[in-house]
Structure 1
């Protein structure tokens, strides 16, 4: 099960951290989700997780459900960068 780290910008860091959407959307796709915040006056955040099925994760990210969750969380999709454990 590969580890994935995704970095991105959000509109409101406190809202993103408190959001229940992350657990809802990634349930069954990933485990051990950990959030990170870039210190200082920034909206840059990161998320690490162990991914069970990369194809299923990719499909979810491209789905309406994934888009709705990102919108709810204030994620700026154009800023997402994903790193896969090598």
Structure 2
């Protein structure tokens, strides 16, 4: 199962950290979700996870549910960068 890290900007770090949407949209797609924040920057965050099916992850990110979760969480979609373990 590949590990990956996704970085992005958010409107409000506290809201993003407390959001239940992450667990909802990644259920069945990713495990071992861990959140990270960039100290001293109120907008930059990261999420690491293990993903069994990268196609399922990509489909979820492009879906209406994925877009709604990002909007709810205050994620700036144009800032999302995904790194895959090599």
TM-score normalised by the shorter chain: which range applies?
over 0.9
CA contact 2:9–2:43 (8 Å) conserved in 1: yes
2:47 corresponding residue in structure 1? 47
Unaligned residue ranges in structure 2 (runs of 5+): none
CA root-mean-square deviation: 0.5
Secondary structure of the corresponding residue to residue 47 of structure 1:
strand
Q: Report the TM-score, using the length of structure 1 for normalisation.
A: 0.98
Secondary structure of the corresponding residue to residue 65 of structure 1:
helix
Q: CA deviation at 1:61?
A: 0.1
Runs (4+) off by over 6 Å: none
Greater strand fraction, Structure 1 or Structure 2: 1
State how many pairs are aligned. 86
CA contact 2:12–2:42 (8 Å) conserved in 1: no
Secondary structure of the corresponding residue to residue 76 of structure 2:
strand
CA contact 2:21–2:69 (8 Å) conserved in 1: yes
1:32 corresponding residue in structure 2? 32
